[in-house]
Amino acid sequence: MDEGSPEIVPANSPASDLDQEHESSESGDGDVLPEPLSDKLPVPPGELSLYRAAVALRALLLVAFFRYRVTHPVRDAPWLWLAALACELWLALAWLLAQLPKLSPASRAAHLARLASRYGEESLAGVDVLVTAAGVGREPPLATANAVLSALAADYPAGRLACYVSDDGADMLVFEALFAAAGFARRWVPFCRRHGVEPRAPELYFARGVDYLRDRAAPSFVKERRAMKREYEEFKVRINYLAAKARKVPEDGWVMSDGTPWPGNNPRDHPAMIQVLLGHPGDQDAEGNELPRLFYVSREKKPGFQHHRKAGALNALLQSAMLFCIVYCQLRVSALLTNGAYVLNLDYDHCVTNSGALREAMCFLMDPVAGNRTCFVQFPLRVGGDDDGGDRHASRDSVFFDIDMKCLDGIQGPVYVGSGCFFNRKALYDFDPALDEDDDAHGNWCCFGNGKGRALRRTMSTVPLLDSEDSDEQTGADSARTRRRLRSYHAALERHFGHSPAFIASAGQGRSDGGGGGGSDSTAAAACSLLREAIHVVSCAYEERTRWGKDVGWMYGTGGGGVATGFRMHARGWASAYCAPARTAFRTFARPSPSDVLAGASRRAVAAMGVLLSRHCPVWAGAGGRMRLLQRLGYATCVANPLASLPLTAYCALPAACLLTGRSIFPDDVSYYDAVLLILLLSSVAATAALELRWSRVTLRAWWRDQKLWVVTGTSACLAAVFQGILRACAGIDVGFSTSTETAIRSSSDDEGGGGEETSDARRSLRWSNLLISPASLLLGNLAGVVVAVSYGRLASDFLHNYIFITVGRVGSSTDLIEQKIEFVNDGEKRGFLLDILHKQSVRGANGKLQQPLTLIFVETKREADTLRYWLYSKGFPATAIHGDRTQQERESALRSFKSGATPIMVATDERQGVWTVPNVAHVINYDLPKSVEDYVHRIGRTGRAGKAGNATAFFTETNHPLAKGLLELMTEAKRDAPKWLVEYAEKPCYGGPSYSGRGRRGGGGFGGRDYRRSSDYGYGGNDYNNGGGAYGGGGGYSDIAMVVVHRGNWQMLKFGFWVLRWYGDGVVTMGIHLVIELEGLCSITMVYGL
């Protein structure tokens, strides 16, 4: 209709009684407003002020930090520095934008006593519970049955409660499972209401490991509970039989009990089906009381029609639910019925675990002051059983529900998360909220032509409403003008709601007091007519050329119809409420596995990207409407959250790039001011997190799990969703990523029972999907960087300049108890020098014979070892040999002979053998010097143990000249006099090349770094790989791994990251790299370099 069309809300709108009651209370004596049924409780000012101050301080420190980062570039690694800076800026901006809506958190309190005193049982509003299911093949029927049973057993008047189950797959086994659940509900519902059991999902109730006799005085309770548990076990056997039966579909399709084919054998092409399971005349429970109504609905599906998945199923339920209320009213003339003014949306696996949740929601929706402006009430969704303390995935949404949602509740209300939400039906029908006179001088309901301007009209209701003057003119039957306007009005309603006169009539008949509907003159023919009308509204073509999915019901066109639906309501000026009672209201049927967590994160990320890249994008959609700026910013950060996966993934890849290239993203020269700035920044991060946990009451363990999952999902599911959303929006290409989590149908009892070991392992296992390619690649890249850096010995030298190496004892040097002696000899003179040494160290024993102390002689080759052994034996010195060519038996025999002193001389090569465990070696002779000073230290370290003195002699030849400098520094450090010829060799500039450096690179040596092994001259003994060397030779670096922690478990999650903390000897903290690679579950490797 055009903007000048007369419009007004019908007098019998869903909350008209609340309007009238509000007006009457205002016009009463004393103008005293009624007591509110709910209150908004802000965070204590002291806690909130500290939190805001910490956020402001952190923002200022971030500005100072980025000023330092920009003004101190890394010259030798500009691209790595620029990439790191870009990632840091992106993540800092994302944090700041997400923090602004979190500065005014609030909590809600519902007053159930006031609700009971104000509204009696017969005056409560009608509630329609909409449960979505997809089929036995994809979803366990036991979960759907428990969700339905928990809703039917809720603490709410049976005449005001109806449950509608949408079977989008038209599965006959789902229908049979619901039929069995309807039969079991006749005994389960009265049992729950009579004894007040919690939770009221039978699977969760019987699986609880608590004392059910506590606070139970009735002697009949134990007997009834045992009988009910037996009945439930029989019911579960039947449901599980249906699940097993569904695995093999008959070739001719399913057949009903009367022999006719099931209409839904083709899930993509089947007619609409509606069945009343509970609600027929005479339907009562086992005690003769009225039962809530239960309906099975399967909307029509035909090829070539858009079905819009869950949003389409919910809209079909919304249409059929309204008509079913009328059918029920006309058939049950003896009962006072309700046309459900409010709608509860539940997924198939979400059970009602707090029977009073419906009444708590009514405290917000039926509030005489704020009820007419509340579009929905969102409850938190928890996962797992009653106690999630031992479930590592149970707290995935703790931060979101206990922090983010409470913060949005302090602005205009929380977002809609897809389940566990009570909707005001008039908000779903695109009505505008009731506004104060200051906001709208034209009354509580307004659509077009209100004088607010074009910007405001874009977000206002498009429902065509009849003007009050035309309503009065309807009494004049002869007015042609009235007839024309009425025809135009009804045509506009059909364009808005669809071609269903019965539905259009019911759209304005929702009442909160349960009145209205048929009377005693209703007939079965009228009921059948309305039933046919209900079939019509769930047909494929009904929504064509209407406002369904655009302005009415759940939004279409995006993967995140839930977020877009809530955003549309907030843009029109509606407010939502967040209710988090002490007892969890809604909980998932089973605890999630790691694959379930990953798949859920993928679905949420894809939905968020669908909203971000659609016409419902919160950045520009509904501009100029009634939505508050911070509320819009909260929506924007919510749907833009997957974009943070791009800088996060890049930042996680930077450690590998630094380690593989030998570059750093941080500068080397850091002043004292910059170090203090870094300490303050890290302290502000910890302070904001601690203060946030304080006012939200979220545990540190839950917060830490959320942080780890943010990294895991950010590098996997969110990253894939970003590319998937961009390709879908820009090129129309739908790239699907495997998120299959097909697991055995499990229940809570399997997890709790002793025989559920296989199910428990399945719950903790992670099934491979292509979403894990990115985090696995990051893991392997970081591990490769660590391996390469360690193998080249450059971790400490590259990233930890002037670091402190914490050791136990002296690493890389010899002990003071070893008397070192280096003899310059020619190759032909070695045997003569060796005989002189052996003769000099011979001592006469108690028996008068000459004896040799245990002497270890190192040679270079195995052949030389055998040759030298036989030569010594021929000279009268008992000797043995050990090397790799000897058998294990020969090596063990030689070792026993050497330890016992039978052959006190051992000739060995550098191969690591058991000989190194001999404690009483008195003399080590390097017949052939090794090719590195490190190996020389290892050799002479075989003597001088346990506080005993030892001797070490080395034969130095011309070929050993590259070792001169290292040997000289080693002897100087050990306070031993070095021969002059060794000093002359060490001072020659040609020595120190790469020939024998081993571990170095670019002319590097083996050592490097500070403390006991680094030379004071940075150019020769330092850890600068460009100019310096190790303890001998050129550059290089010795890998100082100060701490390595490893533990084993199962594959569950991956985490990468690195910190930027380094400690100077003079007490100054500067930036370096602290690499953390964590495969939590499989193993956890934490390598801290340079503590």
Residues at the binding site for Mn(2+) are 310, 347
HSE, CB side, 13 Å, CA atoms: give it for residue 674: 19
| Burial class of residue 854, CB neighbours in 10 A (0-12, 13-18, 19+) | buried
Which residue ranges make up the annotated binding site for UDP-alpha-D-glucose?
A: 139, 168
CA distance 451 to 787: 71
Cβ atoms within 10 Å of 85's Cβ, excluding its own: 16
Give the type of residue at 1071.
M
- Give every CB contact of residue 691 below 8 A, 6+ residues apart in sequence: 47, 50, 51, 54
CA distance 500 to 373: 28
Token pair in block for residue 2: 């055009």
Give the type of residue at 320.
S
Nearest one of 203, 997, 103 to 587, comparing CA atoms: 203
Token pair in block for residue 809: 């004892």
CB 1010 within 8 A of CB 1049: no
CB 37 within 8 A of CB 110: yes
Q: Where are the beta strands (DSSP E) in 410-563?
A: 421-424
CA distance 581 to 110: 8
Nearest one of 178, 165, 181, 176 to 132, comparing CA atoms: 165
Q: Which helix (H) or strand (E) holds 1085?
A: strand 1083-1089
CA distance 715 to 236: 40
CA distance 857 to 867: 13
Token pair in block for residue 1002: 């670019």
CA distance 318 to 923: 93
Nearest one of 1040, 1034, 1024, 1030 to 1006, comparing CA atoms: 1030
Which residue ranges make up the annotated binding site?
A: 139, 168, 310, 347
Nearest one of 62, 27, 105 to 693, comparing CA atoms: 105
φ, ψ of residue 779 to 5 degrees: the values are -60, -50
Cα-only R_g, the chain: 40
**DSSP per-residue codes, 67-104:** HHHHHS--TT-HHHHHHHHHHHHHHHHHHHHHHGGGSS
Q: Angle at the Cα of 540 (from 539 to 542), degrees rounded to 5?
A: 70
